[in-house]
Amino acid sequence: MPVLKNLTELKELREKARAQKADRENNKLTIILGMGTCGIAAGANEVAAAVREELDKRNIEAEIVNVGCIGMCHNEPLLDIQEPGGPRVTYTKVKPAMVGKIIEKHLVKGELSKRWIFGQLPGENGQTIEGLKTYDELPFYSKQIRIALRNCGIIDPESIEEYLASGGYGGLEKALFQMSPDEVIEEIKDSGLRGRGGAGFLTGLKWEFCRKAKDYPKYVICNADEGDPGAFMDRSVLEGDPHALLEGMIIAGYAIGAPEGYIYCRAEYPLAIVRLKKAIQQAYDLGFLGENILGSGYSFDLKIKEGAGAFVCGEETALIASIEGKRGEPRPRPPYPAASGLWGKPTNVNNVKSYAIASQIMVRGADWFSKIGTKKSPGTAVFALTGKIKNTGLVEVPMGISLREIIYDLGGGIINNKRFKAVQTGGPLGGCLPEDALDTAVDFDSLTAAGATMGSGGMIVVDQDTCMVEFARYFLTFASAESCGKCVPCRIGGQRLLEVLTRITRGEGSLEDLDEIERISKYMREGSLCALGQLTPGPVMASLRFFREEYEAHVTEKFCPAGVCAGMYAYEIDADPCTGCGLCAKACPTNAITGEKKEPHAIDQLQCIQCGACYEVCNFGAVLVKRKHELPVAEVNK
């Protein structure tokens, strides 16, 4: 395809792409497969092979389109069938063996098997099939507003034509041909967009600082080093809609006057890197990148830098050091990157979602954006729901929505109808909130005020079976291992804090240790070099604040109420709910459980090794976690 030399050529190409898409939707049978990392991990490649085989077998001609993740990771692999002129009908949890039956029923017999169908996505002109719920009517999607994720799972991420057909590069077009760089910055400022990486700094203001910096060249960097355990928001955008990021970065480059940009993407995202590379090549081929973009006179180059696995490289100064080829370590700010960043030049660093959203703000205007969400945190937030929640996956919700709505309405509540215990936001540097904080509004300021943080979008839900001390220890283990080791409070403080928590989970803690946790946390926050060290104590502090009684049970009674910390609890069977089904006795590896059929069973404490197998299998909640000293001494006699 030749390079686009001016606006007219872009408009012509977009019309052509739209016509092609309409032609496909109206005249062709399309099978759409979810090919994000989540889909592939669930077996989408095998499903794709089965689709081809089954279509060939029946001589059915169809176009197969691969898309990114649409958010329902718990339902992967996804297979959509779109008949000419019809809506997309989504089948979930598709196994290769099911493909033949789906095709036979849907395409040959014209039957819709509701057992496997999740719902339908209306076609371009709103066409639907009667009797099937549309996505908007389903709880997982009804409360979502998708801006950063607007194209994820909808378009083929490897096709720039599909991006163009969906209105892509319209924001760039507007910025380059209708607005001056200052006007672009004003627009972003007016929208109130706050950085989606976690800190929530005003994006427009950041761009302005960089624009005003008196040095050249300037750089635009995208921080795609998403490293939080259980977080995959950025990956989804990179895999599902890479051009949205590219467009946002070119707009930012134009606004601040930068001739060059870098995408710092972690190497653990191989699929994202493949799709990014493809997208960048396509953008160069069509002239969205390179010299004299669309004949506007503005030139911009974009490169990918693959991270080498250090979590701390998500910190902007460490990220910059890493691009420069140095050890990935933060340096004290000021100077901020906007004044002295990459190679000592003014540099703008934003998160993937910030750029993806910025490109949409350019299309739809600051007004539109600022009306979504809350006054101080306009727009939407993308969350990766994980943990003991039914619907794990990606959601994009308007700011201000409550945690309860996200967890129960979108997330479908807790698995196995267990009791909600806490939700961790902000990843390993965030904090957890208890049940009575479930009505907290989700926005930058409310979450911080409640004791957690917004972070970049991880949301981990835990239930009654999670020990909050062990939960905090898990994040602390991660954060202290990922400390770069440069500053003392983080390098040694993190280790010492971890030692205190390990002591407590081993039943060797004391009440003084709780004071010690607070003391170490305080000084780590106050004296660490970067956000990693300052926020490492976050999960510990939050869990200590909201679940202090659990900590106290560990240190004073040597009891882990959740039944997690080894040797700090015992199991007992409650005779009332026990039906004598015998499942527990079968599951017990040491034959510690005995009882007559249909009679309450009992555990021989001398044989029991607290493996929890009986607790897991009991369907009646009859196995209880008990303090050791609550049981008769003879039984616990150890």
Residues 456/226, Cβ–Cβ less than 8 Å: yes
Which part of the chain contacts another protein (CB under 8 A), choosing from 4-12, 46-54, 231-239, 488-496?
488-496
Span of 79-87, 507-515, 525-533, 560-568 interacting with another protein by CB under 8 A: 525-533
Candidate list 143, 404, 525, 545; residue touching another protein; CB under 8 A: 525
Q: Which of 282, 483, 543, 610 binds another protein (CB under 8 A)?
A: 483
- The C-alpha angle with vertex 290 and arms to 285 and 292, in degrees rounded to 5, equals 110
CA 65 – CA 127 distance, rounded (Å): 20
Taking the CA atoms of residue 461, residue 466, residue 469 and residue 473 in that order, the dihedral angle to the nearest 10 degrees is -70
Would you say 303 or 327 has its CB closer to another protein?
A: 327
Name the packing angle between helices 548-556 and 468-481 (round to 10°).
100
Q: Which of residues 313-342 bind another protein (CB under 8 A)?
A: 327, 329, 331-332, 334-335
Residue 519 binding another protein, by CB under 8 A: yes
If the CB atoms of residues 89 and 484 are measured against another protein, the closer one turns out to be 484
Asked if residues 276 and 241 have their Cβ atoms less than 8 Å apart, the reply is no
Nearest CB to another protein, comparing residues 294 and 339: 339
Burial (Cβ within 10 Å: 0-12, 13-18, ≥19) of residue 216: exposed
98 binds another protein per the rule CB under 8 A = no
CA 206/CA 185 separation, integer angstroms:
9
Cβ at position 498, least distance to another protein in Å: 9
Is position 493 an interface residue for another protein (rule: CB under 8 A)? yes
Q: Which is nearer to another protein, 311 or 547 (CB)?
A: 311
Contact pick of 284, 368, 474, 523 for another protein (by CB under 8 A) = 523
Report if residue 491 touches another protein, rule: CB under 8 A: yes
Cβ 484 to another protein shortest distance, Å: 6
Question: Around 120, how many Cα atoms within 13 Å sit in the side-chain half-sphere?
Answer: 21
The one-letter amino acid code at 411 reads G
How does DSSP assign 296-340, residue by residue?
SS--BEEEEEEE-S-GGGGSHHHHHHHHTTS------SSSPTTTS
Which of 220-228, 434-442, 495-503, 620-628 is the region at the interface with another protein (rule: CB under 8 A)? 495-503
Q: How far is the CB of 566 from another protein (least distance, A)?
A: 20
Q: Where in 148-187 is the site for another protein (CB under 8 A)? A: none
With contacts defined by CB under 8 A, name the span among 296-304, 518-526, 550-558, 585-593 that binds another protein: 518-526
Rounded to 5 degrees, φ, ψ at 627 are -65, 145
- Residue 256 CB, shortest distance to another protein, in Å, is 22
Q: How far is it, in rounded angstroms, from Cα 61 to Cα 174?
A: 39
For residue 164, give both structure tokens. Answer: 């163009």
Q: What are the phi and psi torsion angles at 487 (to 5°)?
A: -95, 150
Place of tokens 């001056």: 180
Alpha-carbon span 467 to 553, nearest angstrom: 11
Question: For another protein, which is the closer residue by CB, 57 or 519?
Answer: 519
Report d(CA 315, CA 490) in Å as an integer: 14
CB of 491 to another protein, least distance (A): 6
Asked if 604 and 592 touch (Cβ cutoff 8 Å), the reply is yes
Among 469, 484, 501, 573, binds another protein (CB under 8 A): 484
Q: Is 506 in the site for another protein (CB under 8 A)?
A: no
Q: Which is nearer to another protein, 288 or 444 (CB)?
A: 444
Which residues lie below 8 Å from residue 576, measured CB to CB, with a gap of 6+?
A: 600, 622
Whether the Cβ atoms of residue 207 and residue 348 lie closer than 8 Å to each other: yes
Chosen residue from 260, 499, 518, 635 binding another protein by CB under 8 A: 499
Q: In whole angstroms, how close is the CB of 620 to another protein at the nearest point?
A: 44
CB 426 within 8 A of CB 105: no
Query: Cβ closer to another protein: 347 or 359?
Result: 347
Q: How far is the CB of 514 from another protein (least distance, A)?
A: 15
Question: What would the x/- binding string for another protein be over residues 528 to 557, using CB under 8 A?
Answer: xx----x-----------------------
Q: With contacts defined by CB under 8 A, name the span among 37-45, 63-71, 177-185, 479-487 that binds another protein.
A: 479-487
Nearer to another protein, 130 or 526 (CB): 526
Other beta carbons within 10 angstroms of residue 215's beta carbon come to: 12
Question: How far apart (Å, rounded) are the C-alpha atoms in residues 84 and 105?
Answer: 17
- Which of 344, 485, 567, 621 is close enough to bind another protein by CB under 8 A? 485
Q: Is 3 left (phi over 0), alpha (psi -120 to 50) or beta?
A: beta
Q: How far is the CB of 20 from another protein (least distance, A)?
A: 50
Shortest Å, Cβ 528 to another protein: 7
266 forms part of the interface with another protein (CB under 8 A): no
What mask, x for binding another protein by CB under 8 A, covers residues 432 to 471? ----------------------------------------
Residue 523 CB, nearest approach to another protein (Å): 4
Bridge partners for 626 per DSSP: 570
The minimum distance between CB 108 and another protein, in angstroms, equals 58
Give the residue, chosen from 67, 312, 385, 442, that forms a contact with another protein under the rule CB under 8 A.
Answer: 312
Q: Considering only the stretches 60-68, 209-217, 491-499, 505-513, report the one whose residues sit in contact with another protein under the rule CB under 8 A.
A: 491-499
Helix, strand and coil content of the chain, in percent to the nearest 5, comes to 45, 15, 40
> Rounded CA gap, 207 and 181, in Å?
10
- Encode burial over 280-310: b for 16+ CB neighbours within 10 A, e otherwise: bebbeebbbbeeebbbbebebebeebbbeeb
Site string for another protein, 19-38 (x = CB under 8 A): --------------------
The Cα 87–Cα 82 span in angstroms is 6
Smallest gap from Cβ 404 to another protein, in A, equals: 31
CA 142 to chain centre: 19
**In this chain, which of 170, 307, 393, 494 binds another protein, going by CB under 8 A?**
494
Question: Is residue 496 a contact residue for another protein (CB under 8 A)?
Answer: yes
Q: Quick check: bond before 139 cis, omega within 30?
A: no
Kindly tell me which residue out of 102, 487, 583, 603 binds another protein, with binding defined by CB under 8 A: 487
From the list 58-66, 199-207, 411-419, 485-493, the region that binds another protein by CB under 8 A is: 485-493
Name the residues that contact another protein, by CB under 8 A: 310, 312, 327, 329, 331-332, 334-335, 480-496, 499, 519-520, 523, 525-529, 534
